[in-house]
Chains A and B, each alone.
Chain A
Amino acid sequence: SAVISQKPSRDICQRGTSLTIQCQVDSQVTMMFWYRQQPGQSLTLIATANQGSEATYESGFVIDKFPISRPNLTFSTLTVSNMSPEDSSIYLCSGRVGGNEQFFGPGTRLTVL
């Protein structure tokens, strides 16, 4: 298994600013992912964080808006850039262990005013 922590746990931000979310895993994982969960909805995959190279983004998500870094096997960051109220969501980091089970962090609750 893997224990995943995220910082910050929540934040309230002003329109037009950026927020960087950090994700730390307590063990090496083969893959890391970033998800968004809008109020009352299920999870939507933003991108797969690739170690040492550019992330792989899902349709509807772009690097300029959601730049992602993954400098090693246990750490990744997601930045939400030039925020608008529509970006208010829970952002979740996830790691896949040994190609099988996937684990999630506690989430970062973002409110944009």
Chain B
Amino acid sequence: KQEVTQIPAALSVPEGENLVLNCSFTDSAIYNLQWFRQDPGKGLTSLLLIQSSQREQTSGRLNASLDKSSGRSTLYIAASQPGDSATYLCAVRGTGTASKLTFGTGTRLQVTL
């Protein structure tokens, strides 16, 4: 059974800092990995999708990497802003067309002025 862990559970940084969020998973037989953002009381916003054959994806100030063999992904946020404050979730999808996403426990990020 796939298990996904995110470290740290919570993080507070001053505005402008670069930061890294970590995601690890136990079963390396994945189809893809997705990073999401969730604001309090809201739904999930997809940030980045990395296919199992890819090493990284970039969107604006966000960069996600994937090391499938070691069961790890990182989300790098450059020049953090207060608007980046949210909970960040990673989710891995197993192989097979009907496979489901398994979510991590999330990292709650607070960017302070």
| A contact set with B: CB distance below 8 Å | 1, 4, 6, 31, 33, 42-43, 45, 48, 58, 90, 92, 94, 99-107, 109
Contact = CB atoms under 8 A, between A and B. Distances in A.
Nearest to B106: A42
Secondary structure dominating the interface of A: strand
B89 A107 contact: no
Interface string B59-94: 000000000000000000000000000000101010
A31 to B, nearest CB: 7
A90 B34 CA distance: 21
Contact of B42 (A58, A103, A106): A106
B101 interface: yes
A104 B34 contact: no
A105 B43 CA distance: 6
A92 B43 CA distance: 7
A45 B92 CA distance: 13
B25 interface: no
A92 B97 contact: no
B43 A45 contact: no
Contacts, number: 48
Given A105-B43, A106-B43, A107-B43, A100 B103 contact: no
Given A92-B44, A105-B43, A106-B43, A31 B98 contact: yes
Contacts of B43: 4, 6, 92, 104-107
Q: Which 8 A-B pairs have the closest CB atoms?
A: A104-B44, A106-B43, A107-B43, A104-B43, A42-B103, A43-B103, A101-B49, A42-B105
Contacts of A6: 43
Nearest to B89: A42
A33 B97 CA distance: 14
A99 B96 CA distance: 10
A4 B43 CA distance: 10
Given A42-B89, A42-B105, A102-B34, A107 B42 contact: yes
B112 interface: no
28 contacts: A4-B43, A42-B89, A42-B104, A42-B105, A42-B106, A43-B44, A43-B91, A43-B103, A45-B101, A90-B41, A92-B43, A92-B44, A94-B44, A100-B32, A102-B34, A102-B46, A102-B91, A102-B101, A103-B46, A104-B36, A104-B43, A104-B44, A105-B43, A106-B42, A106-B43, A107-B41, A107-B43, A109-B41
